[in-house]
Structure 1
Amino acid sequence: MHIGEFAKRSGISERMLRYYESRGVLTPRRSDAGYRQYSEADLQQATLVRQLNEAGLKLDSVALLLPCLVDDAPHFDPCDRVRATLANELSALDQKLDALQQSRARLARLVDQVKNAV
């Protein structure tokens, strides 16, 4: 399928699909005329890339992780080269969560102060 149909089916914009390709996390085949030709396997991979990225992993980390995910489940086959990357990503997510919790607590205090002032 061509990029327009693929974008509709995947829910990923054409621009983002091109970006995924430029970052090496999606590699559709090319026709003789140079048009991208996406397969069902590409659809599964693009969906996985989006899910991992939305979960907070950077695309560089996703690129390292993809070869370690086998079959459609996906099942993780631990690769030595990604363990440190995943640990760093988890640590970064924990830090972001802590910062968000602190921001939420501050905002909640402000809301309470506004309620009490009225």
Structure 2
Amino acid sequence: MRVLIGELSRRTGVHAHLLRYYESQGLLSPGRGPSGYREYADEAVVTVTQIRKLLEAGLSTQEIGVLLPCVTGTTPDLAPCPELLATMRARRDELDERIGTLTRSRGLLHDYIDATERRAAEQHQASATG
């Protein structure tokens, strides 16, 4: 059975414009009906669910395009394809680096706030006693 984009959107909770974006990224491949409308196979519901969960894991649509052939089920389950682990490890390493950068930035910001609050307190104390 084939469904139109509106029905796929309703079944997955994903807006039609995102479904068209996934198609433009090569993640979905609808056919075209006699009317020219996009027609999706029933398994597109599972594919969209997989895409959404992989996006939640921080993967890009480009990375998902590499991984999708290795993905089954709605969990999704990942088969041990060679490119799968390398792609996921590279993404994890990028996230770890970003987390490290953000942690350092947060620490520096805390230091600036503390120093500024100390100066403000010193100035307040000096003006109160002076």
Q: TM-score, normalised by structure 2?
A: 0.72
User: What one-letter code is carried by the residue in structure 1 that aligns with 2:28?
Assistant: L
Shift of 1:27: 1.6
Distance 1:12 1:72 in 2: 15
In structure 1, C-alpha distance between the alignment counterparts of 2:113 and 2:41, rounded to whole Å: 50
Match of 2:72 among 45, 70, 73: 70
Q: Displacement, 1:18? A: 0.9
The letter of the residue matching 2:50 is L
Q: Among residues 13, 24, 27, which one is paired with 2:15 in the alignment?
A: 13
Q: 2:99 aligns with which of 72, 97, 112?
A: 97
**Over aligned residues, Cα RMSD in angstroms?**
2.4
Q: 1:115 to 1:40 in 2, by over 3 A?
A: farther
Distance across 1 between alignment mates of 2:63 and 2:55: 9
Where do 5+ consecutive residues of structure 1 fail to align?
none
Q: In structure 2, what is the Cα distance between the partners aligned to 1:46 and 1:68?
A: 15
- Percent identity over the alignment is 36
Give the drift of 1:113: 5.5
Pair 1:115–1:72, CA change in 2 (3 A)? same
Aligned-pair CA distance for 1:58 = 1.6
* Number of positions where the alignment pairs a residue of Structure 1 with one of Structure 2: 118
2:7, 2:63 → 1: CA distance?
27
CA distance in 1, matches of 2:23, 2:10: 17
Indicate if the aligned counterparts of 2:46 and 2:73 stay in contact, CA closer than 8 A.
Answer: no
Please tell me the residue identity of whatever aligns with 1:90. R
Bigger-Rg structure (1/2): 2
- Residue 87 of structure 1 and its aligned partner are, at CA, apart by 1.8
5+ residue gaps, structure 2: 122-130
Q: Quick one: structure 1 residues 101 and 14, their matched pair in 2 at CA, closer, same or farther if it must change by over 3 Å?
A: same
Match of 1:56 among 55, 58, 64: 58
Cα pair distance change 1:75/1:51, threshold 3 Å: closer
Q: Which residue number corresponds to residue 126 of structure 2?
A: none
TM-score w.r.t. length of structure 1: 0.77
Q: Cα 1:40–1:96, aligned 2, differ >3 Å: closer, same or farther?
A: farther
